[in-house]
Homo-oligomer: A and B are copies of this chain.
Amino acid sequence: MMKTNAGRFFEDYKIGQVIAHAVPRTLSGGERALYHALYPARHALYSSDEFARASGLSAAPLDDLIAFHTVFGKTVPDVSLNAVANLGYAQGRFLAPVWPGDTLRSESEVIGLKQNSNGKSGVVYVRSRGLNQRGEVVLDYVRWVMVRKRDLDAPAPETVVPDLADVVPAGDLVVPKGLDFTNYDFTLAGEPHRWGDYAVGEQIDHVDGVTIEEAEHMLATRLWQNTAKVHFDATNRDDGKRLIYGGHVISMARALSFNGLANAQMVVGLNGGAHANPCFSGDTVRAWSQVLDKAETAAPGVGAIRLRLVATKGGAPFALRDEDGKYRSEVLLDLDYWALMPI
């Protein structure tokens, strides 16, 4: 029996199939410190136990994207080892904070399948869930990827394309239990701008740029136990480049967005996302945001803000698509998410 895992191919997925992903992971302050070394993350709620306590939490949770990357990384060997492309995200919700000491595991359900017309590959839609050691779902999102077929003669499955909403309704967002921004310290948080100060349609250039190194993205990607070989093996491409994990760009852009969105503290919804172009070592990543929507929440002093976060590797801010409607070549990421802000 072959001992190594060659990953699943398109014909291996069946609608309704539930895959329990391997290697649960206990997270600690070590992962947080590394996250803060890898990204210029400065949101105060995740940086300071004191600030988190003043916001009604027991201590600073781990950055939401630590939870996302950890849960995502576990799905890679089962979902995207033979993926040609990571096509999109939808309907993501962060349902409970993750704390140092928590152990996360992941599972995915196949909710859509569509073979491509070329017969060589197909699109697989999965709903992935991250669970903590008490079995509570901490994160839930849909992802779809294009996966190669092993056997080109394998029959096409019945096409099922899930009906995915463009946005998580504000009423479905889960505010962490106890969160209270009525005594929010804007000075310690770093900016005076509250929820009421942002207008739908407003655009923010986050100004700063970070030039990316091979060592950094590999450290990050391994930290999340993401095993996709394109990120690590320079012999995998003719040009000797390693493709940077899309999640590295997400975290870099989110961290850069502190400058202008320091009070967009907690990510609670992931409405959609596309990795528009590949990122490589040597690229200088910048970010800009646009306010897409605003909503109230039932939690004291807490508002929700829907943001488009765009990461680029050059070009001017606020330019997203060219005349044909395609992403401009310098756009790396187009992410649509909900965050919580002091009103």
Instruction: Give the B-binding residues of A (Cβ under 8 A).
Output: 1, 3-5, 20, 22-26, 28-34, 36-40, 42, 44, 47-51, 59-60, 77, 100-101, 103, 105, 133, 187-191, 193, 197-198, 202, 204-211, 213-216, 218-220, 222-223, 225, 227, 229, 232-236, 242, 259-262, 282, 284
Q: Which of A26, A205, A219 has the most CB of B within 10 A?
A: A26
Expressed in whole angstroms, the minimum distance between the Cβ of A82 and any Cβ of chain B is: 13
Q: Is the CB of A24 within 8 A of B48?
A: yes
Which residues of B sit under 8 angstroms from A187, Cβ to Cβ?
20, 22
Expressed in whole angstroms, the minimum distance between the Cβ of A314 and any Cβ of chain B is: 9
Q: A217 to B327, alpha carbons, bound, how many Å?
A: 33
Which residues of B sit under 8 angstroms from A37, Cβ to Cβ?
34, 219-220, 222-223
Each complex incorporates copies of this chain amounting to 3
The 9 closest A-B pairs by CB, nearest first: A30-B33, A28-B29, A22-B190, A215-B215, A24-B48, A211-B234, A30-B30, A3-B260, A213-B215
Q: A48 to B24, alpha carbons, bound, how many Å?
A: 5
**Which B-chain residue is minimally distant from A101 (CB atoms)?**
B49
Q: A101 to B50, alpha carbons, bound, how many Å?
A: 10
**Which B-chain residue is minimally distant from A59 (CB atoms)?**
B26
Q: Is the CB of A232 within 8 A of B220?
A: no
Which residues of B sit under 8 angstroms from A190, Cβ to Cβ?
5, 22-23, 77
Q: Is the CB of A49 within 8 A of B20?
A: no
On whether A24 and B235 interact (CB within 8 A), knowing A30-B30, A218-B213, A222-B39, the answer reads no
Expressed in whole angstroms, the minimum distance between the Cβ of A136 and any Cβ of chain B is: 13
**Which B-chain residue is minimally distant from A214 (CB atoms)?**
B213
Contact of A208 among B24, B103, B227, B284 (CB under 8 A): B227
Which residues of B sit under 8 angstroms from A216, Cβ to Cβ?
215, 218-219
Q: Is the CB of A208 within 8 A of B233?
A: yes
Q: Is the CB of A50 within 8 A of B103?
A: yes
Which residues of B sit under 8 angstroms from A33, Cβ to Cβ?
28, 30-31, 33-34, 223
Given contacts A22-B189, A210-B233, A227-B259, 12 further A-B contacts (CB under 8 A): A3-B191, A3-B198, A3-B261, A4-B207, A23-B42, A24-B51, A25-B48, A30-B32, A33-B223, A209-B229, A210-B232, A211-B242
Expressed in whole angstroms, the minimum distance between the Cβ of A311 and any Cβ of chain B is: 14
Q: A233 to B3, alpha carbons, bound, how many Å?
A: 41
On whether A3 and B223 interact (CB within 8 A), knowing A22-B44, A232-B209, A233-B211, the answer reads no
On whether A3 and B40 interact (CB within 8 A), knowing A23-B189, A209-B235, the answer reads no
Which residues of B sit under 8 angstroms from A235, Cβ to Cβ?
209, 211, 284
Q: A38 to B219, alpha carbons, bound, how many Å?
A: 6
